[in-house]
Amino acid sequence: MHTYDITLALTADLPLWPGDSPFLLEQVEKVENGEGANVSRVSMSVHMGTHVDAPHHFLDNGKTVDKLPLNLLIGRAYVLSLPGVELITASILEKADLPPRIRRILFKTRNSDAWANREKGFRTNFVALSPDAAEYLINRGVRLVGVDYLSVAPFTDSRPTHEILLKGGVVILEGLDLSVVTPGRYTLYCLPLKLVGSDGAPARAILVGV
């Protein structure tokens, strides 16, 4: 049984959504300075690295991240590889021959090369889901969608895909590193920080082979 850590390592040189708050991890107490312990503090966007979007990210009256059901964030998941795809559409998903009754799907695309190559710059041409792909997944009964770049939606048109998924009660997991993951069936464990009232939260995500 193999375990994949599909979480991005949080460092200041990780690509950041344009305009988002910079990542800062700093030690504020140091043993070497005669203090009792080493203590750090962190400042970051909740949408940096591997993270979960709560409905509140796009819907003012939507649930916040602390209210997301853990039973969606943990369980059977399917990793679908779409290597030559630039935009994930409903017609691509129809042809992808998805197994029946999948509730959680993670998309492995050329985006994962960015993590394998430790790219520092933000990509605007990342692969994402079209609004009709979002509708297709909801109609298939999917309740969690994971992507291997920082947004589930195309860079120039964030709202429609997010809105369809979040209104449909789908949990969105973004910033996954699927570069070394073989497509197929796994058990996903994704645990976002319990940030009360937040529109998103950094998460640790792992896949365990089944």
Residues that bind Zn ion in the complex, under the rule CB under 5 A: 47, 53, 174, 200
CB of 174 to Zn ion, least distance (A): 5
CB of 47 to Zn ion, least distance (A): 4
How many Cβ atoms are within 10 Å of 46's Cβ, its own excluded? 21
The residue among 33 and 156 lying less far from Zn ion, judged by its C-beta, is: 156
Structure tokens at 159: 């709202």
CB of 108 to Zn ion, least distance (A): 18
Q: Which is catalytic among the residues 47, 51, 56, 57?
A: 57
CB of 10 to Zn ion, least distance (A): 15
Q: Which ranges of 57-174 would DSSP assign to H, the alpha helix? A: 70-73, 90-95, 112-116, 131-139, 158-167
How far apart, in Å, are the Cα atoms of 125 and each of 54, 55, 128, 147? 24, 24, 9, 14
The residue among 192 and 200 lying less far from Zn ion, judged by its C-beta, is: 200
The residue among 147 and 181 lying less far from Zn ion, judged by its C-beta, is: 147
Is residue 57 among the annotated active site residues?
yes
DSSP letter for 57, please.
G
CA–CA distance, 103 with 122 (Å, rounded to integer): 30
CA–CA distance, 189 with 30 (Å, rounded to integer): 34
The residue among 174 and 177 lying less far from Zn ion, judged by its C-beta, is: 174
- List active site positions: 57
